[in-house]
Amino acid sequence: MQLNADNLACSRGGRDVFAGVGFSVASGEALVVAGRNGAGKSSLLRLIAGLVRIAGGTLDLQGGEPEASIAEQAHYVGHQDALKPTLSVGENLRFWAAFLGAAADDIEPALEAVGLAALADLPAAYLSAGQRRRLSIARLVAAPRPIWLLDEPTSALDTPSQARLVELMRGHLAGGGLIVAAAHGPIGLTQARELRLGAEG
């Protein structure tokens, strides 16, 4: 499986965010998108996720499911956690697992993987920012999809959680998945390649 972008352009609200961006990520590879604020890191991820219109260039996926769009084979973790505070941790995760097409109803392993199993019955309103972030990462484990699009995944996470996330990402890559992550600093994946957006600054 390989995700190819060629000469991609993005414009939001009539303002050109970036143009001429090209990259290619294959199974087992990770791409870290870097650049100053406003260079379009988040926009690039949202564009791959099908949430922002492609203003120019091409984006295609080789070796994926032919009938599904890229967005339908991708997980997106943005700045917002997509959690409902009145639902419990378990209900939140179970819903997204079912909606995003998980095969099994069992969410225990996913909660275990992010260290939230003990809090399954607690309403999500009581979670800290880091726990919320971990819960939204749990959905990547609960409903397997080959492409992970992670926007600043390590923000709000403490060091042990970051280590756990790196572990999950390594496992995902080893299982033939691919990752595109936007980050300010290193995210702990040593073999990741870097794509720098915008002018240096």
Partner 1 sequence: MTAFTALLLRDIRLSLRIGGGALMGALFFLIVVTLMPFAIGPDLNLLARIGPAILWLGALLASLLALDRLFAMDQDDGSLDLLMMGRMPLELAVLAKALAHWITTGLPLVIVAPVLGLMLNVELRAMGWVTLTLLAGTPALTFIGLVGAALSVALRRGGLLLPVLILPLTVPVLIFGVAAANAAIVGPAPFGPPFTILCALSLASLVLGPIAAAAALRHGLE
Partner 2 sequence: MAVIDLANPTRFLALVNRVLPWLVAATALVFAIGLYRAAYAPDDYQQGATVKIMFLHVPAAWLGMMGWVIMSAAALGTLVWRHPLADVAGKAVAPIGAAFTLICLITGALWGRPTWGTYWVWDARLTSVLILFLLYLGVMALYWTAEEPGRGARAAAILTLVGAVNIPIIKFSVDWWNTLHQPASVLRLGGATIDASILVPLLIMAGAFTLLFITLHLAAMRNEILRRRVRSMRLMQAQTMAEARS
Residue 76 binds partner 1 (CB under 8 A)? yes
Residues 28-67 that bind partner 2 (CB under 8 A): 36
Q: Which residues pair with 149 in a beta bridge?
A: 76, 180
User: What is the closest distance, in whole angstroms, from the C-beta atom of residue 89 to partner 1 in the complex?
Assistant: 14
- Told to check if 126 binds partner 1 by CB under 8 A, we report no
Give backbone dihedrals phi and psi of 132, rounded to 5 degrees, phi first.
Answer: -65, -45
Residue 129 binding partner 1, by CB under 8 A: no
| Residue (126 or 194) nearer to partner 1, CB | 126
Return the one option of partner 2, partner 1, none that residue 96 interacts with (CB less than 5 to 8 A, by type): partner 1
87 is a contact residue toward partner 1 (CB under 8 A): yes
Nearer to partner 1, 63 or 101 (CB): 101
**Closest to 99 measured CA to CA, from 115, 84, 80:** 84
15 binds, among partner 1, partner 2, none (CB under 5 to 8 A by kind): partner 2
15 lies in the binding site for partner 2 (CB under 8 A) = yes
Residue 107 · residue 142 · CB < 8 Å: yes
Nearer to partner 1, 16 or 167 (CB): 16
Site string for partner 1, 3-22 (x = CB under 8 A): ---------xx---------
**Which is closer to partner 2, CB of 13 or CB of 160?**
13
Strand order in the sheet with 30-35: 74-77, 147-151, 178-182, 30-35, 193-197
What distance in Å separates the CA atoms of residue 18 and residue 100, rounded to the nearest whole number? 30
Interface contacts to partner 2, rule CB under 8 A: 13-16, 36, 199, 201
Q: For binding to partner 1 (CB under 8 A), which residues are involved?
A: 12-13, 46, 49-53, 68, 71-72, 74, 76, 78-84, 86-87, 91, 94-96, 98-101, 105
